[in-house]
Amino acid sequence: MAVGKKDISAPPYAEGTSLSDEDIKKKKVTYVEDHPNIRYSWTAGQAVSKFLNELKKGKIAATKCNKCRRIMVPPRVFCELCYKPIDEWVYVEDTGTVQTFSISYIDPDAKPLEEPVIVAVISIDGASKNMGIMHVLGEVKPEDVYIGMKVKAVWKPEDEREGSVTDIKYWKPLEG
């Protein structure tokens, strides 16, 4: 049922006749369908290649700008504020703080999810303020999540890692 429909009190004549899935399947509406086969393979580049390869080792790599003194995650080869090359690579922790989150109940096709997905931006320990990663939280009930919650990465087993942001399965609350 459409969200909010119950609150609408339109007279019957104003409701009209809506299209049903059946009408579309029977081609009562004239349309053309296409399923294009368009595929890409994006070069990761200097900074992100190193970042992804370090994830394989279970480490989070960051870059540092000595002018503004920011430690940047995800790493980049240049500081976008100072517009100069970065100065060095450093490692940051695989722990952090929930900066913002959303408990998401609906999938991209607008269908309900069986279990909600808790998406969060995590400010990573060791990186500059508001620098971190957008990822998902696990091992936590939706009602227990809060901004400022300390979390830790849960990694895939080493032999299953492939140099992807999903090498971290999720972030779980750091107890204590």
Partner 1 sequence: MRVAVLGVGYSGFNTNTPDLNWKELMLEAAVRAYEDAGINPRKDVDSVVTCAEDFWEGFAIFDEFVPDQLGGVLKPTCTVCSDFLYGVATAYMQIKSGLADIVVVEAHSKASDILTFGEVIKFAMDPVWLRDIGNAHPYYFAALEMSQYVSECCINEEQIAEVVVKNKNNALLNSSAPYGAKVTVEDVLNSPMVFDPMRKIEIAPVSDGAVVFVLGNEFVAREITDTPVWVKGVGWWSETSNYDTMSFNAMYAYKAAKMAYKLAKITNPAKEVDFAEVDDRFAFKELQHIEALQLSRKYETGSLMQEGYFARDGELPVNVSGGNLGVGNLLEATGGQKALEVVLQLRGLAGKRQIEAETGVAQAWRYIPTASGTVAVFGV
Interacting residue ranges for partner 1, rule: CB under 8 A: 32, 34, 36-48, 76-78, 80-83
Beta carbon of residue 99, minimum distance to partner 1 (angstroms, whole number)? 20
Beta carbon of residue 46, minimum distance to partner 1 (angstroms, whole number)? 6
Beta carbon of residue 54, minimum distance to partner 1 (angstroms, whole number)? 17
Beta carbon of residue 2, minimum distance to partner 1 (angstroms, whole number)? 26
Q: Name the residue nearer to partner 1 (CB basis): 97 or 128.
A: 128
Of 126, 132, 154, give the one whose Cα is nearest residue 75: 132
Beta carbon of residue 154, minimum distance to partner 1 (angstroms, whole number)? 28
Query: Does 74 sit behind a cis peptide bond, omega within 30 degrees of 0 on the bond before it?
Result: yes
| Residues ≥6 apart with Cβ < 8 Å to 124 | 60, 62, 73, 92, 93, 94, 95, 96, 131, 132, 133
Q: Name the residue nearer to partner 1 (CB basis): 13 or 83.
A: 83
Cβ contact 72:50 at 8 Å: no
Element (DSSP H or E) covering residue 25? helix 21-25
Q: Name the residue nearer to partner 1 (CB basis): 48 or 92.
A: 48
Q: Name the residue nearer to partner 1 (CB basis): 68 or 174.
A: 68
Please give the torsion angle defined by the CA atoms of residues 63, 67, 68 and 71, in that order, rounded to the nearest 10 degrees: 20
Q: Name the residue nearer to partner 1 (CB basis): 37 or 130.
A: 37
